[in-house]
A and B are shown apart, each in its own frame.
Chain A
């Protein structure tokens, strides 16, 4: 399963758009890409999932290029409450269930 690499930390200001990129060079055909948000003393919370191209929901967008070797989570107009750790996950259900989480990107949003 693909190893996932993401930046350790990022800083931003309120109202800005934040893009966090995850690298997964060895992603396989059956793998899906998912992003999670985690606050201290809480479990990770699902943000968005995709397979290819672009997916958008009410809180974020996920951009996946054609070769799928990376993915970018885009958070529009962040607020202080978006300060959290964001995890990239590559997972598959075929040939046995497997998941590889990135080490997480700590986003700090400043006023």
Chain B
């Protein structure tokens, strides 16, 4: 089984719908992240959490919210999806204070029509 599991792996939805992407990890890491990947743009940080009571905005948090339900679970919500949120979303974890060593999930591909 994967150490970082994302559900769903693929989702097609309509404009205005609420969508939740879920992430769970078995690595025992405190730090969890949500990234968005678009062609030609690399990965951009949406939100991050360094422990259960800690939530921080990344560089592109507008239109998104997160919930850290437990050390192992971190979910991303789109309250009212719009077409330009069509992208590949990745959850990641890290177990070190040294920035940049991230362990990624397999990704959730979201299409907003």
Q: Which residues does A use to contact B, with CB under 8 Å?
A: 4, 31-34, 36, 41-46, 49, 87, 89-93, 96-104
Q: Which residues does B use to contact A, with CB under 8 Å?
A: 4, 40-45, 48, 50, 56, 59, 90, 92, 97-107
What CA separation (Å) do A36 and B103 show in the bound complex? 10
B43 and A91 contacting across the interface, CB-CB below 8 Å: no
A87 and B98 contacting across the interface, CB-CB below 8 Å: no
Q: List 20 A-B contacts (CB under 8 A).
A: A32-B99, A34-B100, A36-B102, A41-B106, A42-B106, A43-B4, A43-B90, A43-B104, A43-B107, A44-B43, A44-B90, A44-B104, A46-B102, A87-B42, A91-B99, A93-B98, A96-B56, A98-B99, A101-B42, A102-B42
A97 and B48 contacting across the interface, CB-CB below 8 Å: yes
Main secondary structure of the interface of B (DSSP, over half): loop
A46 and B103 contacting across the interface, CB-CB below 8 Å: yes
What CA separation (Å) do A93 and B101 show in the bound complex? 11
A99 and B105 contacting across the interface, CB-CB below 8 Å: no
> Shortest distance in angstroms between A4's beta carbon and chain B's nearest beta carbon?
8
What CA separation (Å) do A90 and B56 show in the bound complex? 19
A41 and B107 contacting across the interface, CB-CB below 8 Å: yes
**Chain A positions within 8 Å of B100 at CB level:** 32-34, 49, 89-91, 99
> Shortest distance in angstroms between B89's beta carbon and chain A's nearest beta carbon?
10
> Shortest distance in angstroms between A43's beta carbon and chain B's nearest beta carbon?
3
> Shortest distance in angstroms between B90's beta carbon and chain A's nearest beta carbon?
5
Which of A34, A43, A90, A96 is packed against the most chain B CB atoms within 10 Å?
A: A43
Q: Given A41-B106, A42-B106, A43-B90, answer yes or no on A49-B42 (Cβ-Cβ < 8 Å).
A: no
> Shortest distance in angstroms between B53's beta carbon and chain A's nearest beta carbon?
16
